[in-house]
């Protein structure tokens, strides 16, 4: 079992102790993104209520995640297609040389 390290982070003006197997700097980076997104939502919409801003931030981050997943799948398909084309060209150029 991996060691879990406690890291204190500040999100939306509140301190939270997060225990994670991830490196502390990674946990801080994740917390910064959430905090920045909540701050941005509050600034743009005038929302003060933390719970609602946190939900909107989670939805925004999830949307970005799903878009990135879709782009990754698209790029994987492009790479597979191009790899197959290169292999076919090499096979043709080698003309059955073994």
**CA atoms of 98 and 89, how far apart (whole Å):** 15
Total domains present in the chain? 1
Helical pair 50-94 and 24-45, crossing angle rounded to 10 deg:
120
Residue 74 lies in domain: 5-94
- What predicted TM-score, i.e. pTM, was given to this entire model? 0.77
What digits encode the pLDDT tens for the residues 12-51?
Answer: 999 999 999 999 999 999 999 999 999 999 999 987 788 9
What digits encode the pLDDT tens for the residues 55-77?
Answer: 999 999 999 999 999 999 999 99
């Amino acid at each position: 079992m991996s060691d879990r390290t406690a890291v204190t982070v500040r999100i939306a003006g509140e301190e939270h102790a997060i225990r994670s197997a991830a490196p502390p700097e990674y946990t801080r980076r994740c917390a910064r993104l959430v905090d920045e997104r909540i701050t941005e939502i509050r600034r743009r919409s005038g929302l003060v209520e933390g719970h609602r801003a946190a939900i909107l931030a989670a939805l925004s981050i999830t949307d970005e995640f799903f878009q990135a997943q879709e782009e990754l799948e698209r790029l994987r398909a492009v790479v597979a297609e191009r790899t197959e084309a290169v292999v076919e060209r090499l096979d043709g150029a080698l003309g059955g040389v073994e």
